[in-house]
Amino acid sequence: MFIFDISNPLTLILMLAATVLLIFLAQEIKKSYIAAITLFAYLILLIIHVAQMATLAEEFRYMTTTLSRCVAIDFIFILISFLSYLWVDDIEAKANGKKTIDNSLDWFWKKV
């Protein structure tokens, strides 16, 4: 059974670097859909890991701990991607002179 093991330190560092670079690109060109791409990618990865865990055959039960770590890491990356999407969306709205739908995180962005 093939598992995209993101708990591997090298894979984790590469994914973190790619995420940071995409967020930086989104921030520089002020387009929030680039940050949303990372969010959707990690959501799809989470769905894949949960589906693999749910349909795990009996002979592959030793992979449960690896899949559990992958799901936990997926949640962390989803949180990072979601907050970065909100941040870049706020930057894009200010650059275009638009008002965002919900300004409930203004207190957070002022402290960052």
Consecutive 10-residue runs of the chain (112 residues): their mean pLDDT? 82 93 92 92 94 88 89 95 90 79 65 67
Give pLDDT, residue 100: 61
Cβ neighbour number for residue 57 with a 10 Å cutoff: 8
Range of the domain at 66: 32-111
Could you tell me if residue 48 is inside a domain?
Answer: yes
pTM of full prediction above 0.85: no
Kindly state whether residue 10 falls inside one of the protein's structural domains.
no
Asked if 74 contacts 45 with a C-beta cutoff of 8 angstroms, the reply is: yes
Supply the pLDDT for residue 59. 87
Task: Tell me, yes or no, whether 7 lies in a domain.
Answer: no
d(CA 70, CA 3): 9
Q: Give SS3 for 18.
A: helix
What whole-number distance in Å separates Cα of residue 54 and Cα of residue 67? 10
Tell me, yes or no, whether 75 lies in a domain: yes
Residue 67 belongs to a domain: yes
Task: Tell me how many domains the chain contains.
Answer: 1
Q: Give a yes or no: residue 25 inside a domain.
A: no
Kind and range of the H or E run holding 15: helix 9-29
